[in-house]
Amino acid sequence: EEVSKLLALKAQLVTEDAGPQKFTLKTPKGTRDYNPQQMTIRNNVLDKIITVFRRHGAECIDTPVFELKDVLTGKYGEDSKLIYDLKDQGGEILSLRYDLTVPLARYLAMNKITTLKRYHIAKVYRRDNPAMTRGRYREFYQCDFDIAGVYDPMVPDAECLKVVTEILEALDIGQYILKVNHRRLLDGMFEACGVPADKFRTTCSTVDKLDKSPWEEVRTEMINEKGVSPDAADRIGEYVRLNGSTELVEKLLKDEKLSKVKAALEGVEAIKTLLQYCELFGIKDKILFDLSLARGLDYYTGVIYEAVLTQPIKIGNEEQTVGSIAGGGRYDNLVGMFDSKNKQVPCVGVSIGVERIFSVLEAKLAAGDITVRTSDIDVYVASAQKNFLEERMKICAELWDAGIKTEQSYKKNPKMLNQLQHCEENKIPLAVVLGDSELKRGVVKIRNITTREEDEVPRNDLVQEIKKRIDNLNLNQLNGAT
Amino acid sequence: EEVSKLLALKAQLVTEDAGPQKFTLKTPKGTRDYNPQQMTIRNNVLDKIITVFRRHGAECIDTPVFELKDVLTGKYGEDSKLIYDLKDQGGEILSLRYDLTVPLARYLAMNKITTLKRYHIAKVYRRDNPAMTRGRYREFYQCDFDIAGVYDPMVPDAECLKVVTEILEALDIGQYILKVNHRRLLDGMFEACGVPADKFRTTCSTVDKLDKSPWEEVRTEMINEKGVSPDAADRIGEYVRLNGSTELVEKLLKDEKLSKVKAALEGVEAIKTLLQYCELFGIKDKILFDLSLARGLDYYTGVIYEAVLTQPIKIGNEEQTVGSIAGGGRYDNLVGMFDSKNKQVPCVGVSIGVERIFSVLEAKLAAGDITVRTSDIDVYVASAQKNFLEERMKICAELWDAGIKTEQSYKKNPKMLNQLQHCEENKIPLAVVLGDSELKRGVVKIRNITTREEDEVPRNDLVQEIKKRIDNLNLNQLNGAT
């Protein structure tokens, strides 16, 4: 019988082929866990962003984490090599989503939806070289707001910019500008400078590097790798150093070369309208019309934008340059790629670079610049003496049933010091302290953890007394008294 | 030049190898998109659940969607074949997570965390046969609450049950019971009935089928497939028909066969303590001690539980049986499997079957039993006349900047009828209606969409007048007046 017991024990400990741990315990390359502090930061940031999205009437959708591989094929140009494929285990050939834009286009085409204002916050996957301290992961959040539908020019486009400003104000992470440009203007500019049409997209990708590389390097790449003539490159160089506002619009409309190219004029006129709408929205002072803005993705067809923090962020005693924090643009031809009749649904949208925001806030947390509370417990039910588990349980249940956020020790006879320490470490504001003598008199003590003041209340009034104190604490907090 | 333009146009339309759509547009087998209505249902359900989790002081964590394949190996027994593997693209061998429990155990072991109360809500992946109308998918949500740490027996275990009752009350989806049993009692029972120790786990898996199959079938499987003797099977059959409460505990403590087996007595004593704690938590009337409850997973070591709806749910004119809606138990040996020294962190937890809840609510929505609002816009800025886009934009910006959820048409000159229809379809309560004559008098009209009443307010007081009306609407809603 002893043998049988030992066998039972062994069966419990070792299931099948799982021996003791032999491999290094880690998360896959370029990924990470979010611990409670990181999750609190993440959820606080996302809550603020969602509030803005919903203020503008956006609805929420979600799509599967993987798509048929065919859905993603041919949408990302050179970057297609970064797509994660699933193993062929019999059945469909699948890939992890690379962004939320292509799944949106697939969703619109598949369901024949022609108008939608939606936000989508979810993880996407890229087999890129991770730079995790800078917030660049292989699994990371995208946070997208898009407006699909046939509407009048620049009306939804301007609202996307308004949404970005409201988000950056709500997050309060420093001064910023919103750079805008237009793909039609870029195309027209390339044409005016003598770039052949079949080289527009690839030249555009090279211009996109201007935010990281000096003009000389970009020029060399254009000439040597993209086959643009030195003359054409120099002419492009003249234009891409231009930025400004309405006065630049007026200048370009009169520009000798550009004014002869239809695409360029269309682009400039569009920016003119956009600036006008931004003025009505009260955000024109944040907008910079910048001819060097190109954006990497192939699928943009109209306005493009990028939000950039203009000052380094202070983290502890150091400063960190963050740069681009949101980007987007108009893509009128993507949905049609999923429709057998090539039926288009024009779209415009913006993506908030939440990973960069998380990474800044996590660095601030590590430097002690900010603190976060990972649980929001208001009351801890404690006891100074032994054998109070049953009474503690009864009180916890009463408080929970009244909707009060309550905790207690899971030990039968916890030490008083440990209980109070738990309250202080977790910034729990109130403790109910049970004791023999008090219970005999029909009272319990309520302790304010910060002030260490204690007072007695009738046991039967406990719930309402606790509620009163929580309301007071919240009121004080609103008034900045804590 | 015309050719160059055409080429540019073509370059815009066709990127690389993406031709017109040739494959059937769908989501991968067993997965689905969530449209705005489904997302609203999902988020409402999850919000209620999170409120309960946080009321009990749970912190939130997240882990990557994929793990090193080695992490999952040997944790799921026969079900391992359902794991999604990623393609070997050079680098680590990865698999999609199968549940949230193994990642939690990996997280605890990797970070050497010995106490944690956490919730985790995320999608998991199983290459199972989908039954999507019944809420069974290949990509689906898990919603887990777990308490890790060395504590006194049954204290955290009882709290998990309390959490489940609070969630089911908050969701208000019908009457339920919480079945409980104990793995030590099951083992002891198998031993007492004459099952050899190395067949405990596999016999347990067979008992687990009792919720779907009659005893006769289960008995046959035990004898023919698991090699249990007919006598032993019959003895098990006597026990698994037992269920009850404290009186059953007392009966089993005196049971001739069980009282001789240490494991059985330990299990029954544990249930006795659990019932006592449930009484203190005020939930004992919901608990059914049920010897037929076995739970499929191998890793449980102590108490196991399952919440079951006891009545079919009415959907339109039909009724649907939902059955199990939450389940969990204690697993004290899982974390140790990831530790090179086999150091254990005891855990107990519960998983809420949110997909079943979503599927019931979606069916109710389809049957017209419930309605949902997918956006929560309070104000629509409309105009009866042409050329009001600029004024509408200014007003929208004012309202947004005051935090008011506001929408307008993206068309320059939308028809009044379409604007009002949009308000009615989307249950937007208020409209600001702009008109020439009013603006000349320095006023604007506010229209109550439900009552169709309109009144004029000074243009300059618009924001505060709108706020006043929103407060009134909310107040009326709280008082049930709408």
Condensed to tens digits (0 to 9), the pLDDT of residues B220-263 reads 999 999 999 999 999 999 999 999 999 999 999 999 999 999 99
DSSP letter, residue A212: T
On average, the pLDDT of chain B sits at 92
- What confidence tens digit (pLDDT) does each residue in B19-60 have? 555 678 999 999 999 999 999 999 999 999 999 999 999 999
Q: Is the pLDDT of residue A217 over 60?
A: yes
Mean pLDDT confidence for B397-423: 97
8 Å CB contact of B60 and A36: yes
Looking at beta carbons, which residues of chain A come within 8 Å of B65? 65, 96, 123, 125, 139
Cα(A22)–Cα(A26) distance, rounded to whole angstroms?
12
On average, the pLDDT of chain A sits at 92
> Cβ neighbours of residue B178 under 8 Å, at least 6 residues apart?
B161, B164, B165, B283, B286, B287, B288, B305, B306, B307, B308
pLDDT band at A26 (very low <50, low <70, confident <90, very high): very high
CA dihedral B44, B50, B55, B56 (to 10 degrees): 150
Give the CATH class of A36-366. Answer: alpha beta
Q: How many CB atoms lie within 10 A of CB B104?
A: 26
Question: What totals of helices (H) and strands (E) does chain B contain, helices first?
Answer: 16, 18
Provide the chain A residues 180-209 that lie in CB contact (below 8 A) with chain B.
187, 191, 196-198, 200-201
* A55 closest CB neighbour out of B91, B96, B400: B400
Q: What are the residue ranges spanned by the domains of chain B?
A: 36-366, 379-478
pLDDT band at A15 (very low <50, low <70, confident <90, very high): very low
Quote the tokens at residue B117: 């109360």
Q: Is the pLDDT of residue B330 over 70?
A: yes
Mean pLDDT confidence for A183-203: 94
Is B273 part of the contact surface with chain A (CB cutoff 8 Å)?
no
Integer CA distances (angstroms), A186 to A195, A211, A240, in order: 11, 16, 9
Residue with tokens 């898009």: A146
* B54 closest CB neighbour out of A17, A162, A375: A375
Is A396 part of the contact surface with chain B (CB cutoff 8 Å)?
yes
Cα(A460)–Cα(A471) distance, rounded to whole angstroms?
19
Provide the pLDDT for residue B450.
94
Residue with tokens 């087996």: B261
8 Å CB contact of B197 and A92: no
8 Å CB contact of B337 and A21: yes
> Cβ neighbours of residue B456 under 8 Å, at least 6 residues apart?
B438, B443, B444, B445, B446
Is A127 part of the contact surface with chain B (CB cutoff 8 Å)?
yes
Q: Cβ distance A55 to B405 under 8 Å?
A: yes
Mean pLDDT confidence for B88-108: 96
Provide the chain A residues 362-391 that lie in CB contact (below 8 A) with chain B.
374-377, 389-390
Provide the pLDDT for residue B424.
95
8 Å CB contact of B410 and A281: no
Q: Cβ distance A261 to A191 under 8 Å?
A: yes
Cα(B363)–Cα(A117) distance, rounded to whole angstroms?
25
Q: Is the pLDDT of residue A50 over 80?
A: yes
* A403 closest CB neighbour out of B31, B55, B337: B55
**The residue type at B75:** K
Q: Is the pLDDT of residue B151 over 70?
A: yes
8 Å CB contact of B85 and A86: yes
pLDDT band at B14 (very low <50, low <70, confident <90, very high): very low
Provide the pLDDT for residue B74.
86
* B75 closest CB neighbour out of A18, A94, A340: A18
Cα(B68)–Cα(B45) distance, rounded to whole angstroms?
31
Looking at beta carbons, which residues of chain B come within 8 Å of A123? 65
8 Å CB contact of B25 and A389: no
Provide the pLDDT for residue B478.
72
Q: Is the pLDDT of residue B480 over 70?
A: no
Distance from the Cα of residue B75 to its chain's centroid: 23
Backbone angles phi, psi at A392, to 5 degrees: -60, -45
Q: In what order do the strands lie in the sheet with B454-458?
A: B406-408, B379-383, B430-434, B443-448, B454-458
Helix-strand-coil split of chain B, %, nearest 5: 45, 20, 35
> Cβ neighbours of residue B30 under 8 Å, at least 6 residues apart?
B127, B128, B130, B132, B137, B138, B139
Cα(A288)–Cα(A376) distance, rounded to whole angstroms?
42
Is A20 part of the contact surface with chain B (CB cutoff 8 Å)?
yes
8 Å CB contact of A28 and B66: yes
Cα nearest neighbour of A405 on chain B? B55
Provide the pLDDT for residue A12.
52
Beta-sheet pairing, A318-320 with A313-315: antiparallel
Among A62, A286, A335, A419, the strongest candidate for a mutation testing the B interface, having the largest count of B CBs within 10 A, is A62
8 Å CB contact of A118 and B36: yes
* B197 closest CB neighbour out of A7, A159, A280: A7
Bridge partner residues of B179 (DSSP): B288, B306
Q: Does 1.20.1600.10 match the CATH number of domain A379-478?
A: no
Provide the pLDDT for residue A319.
92
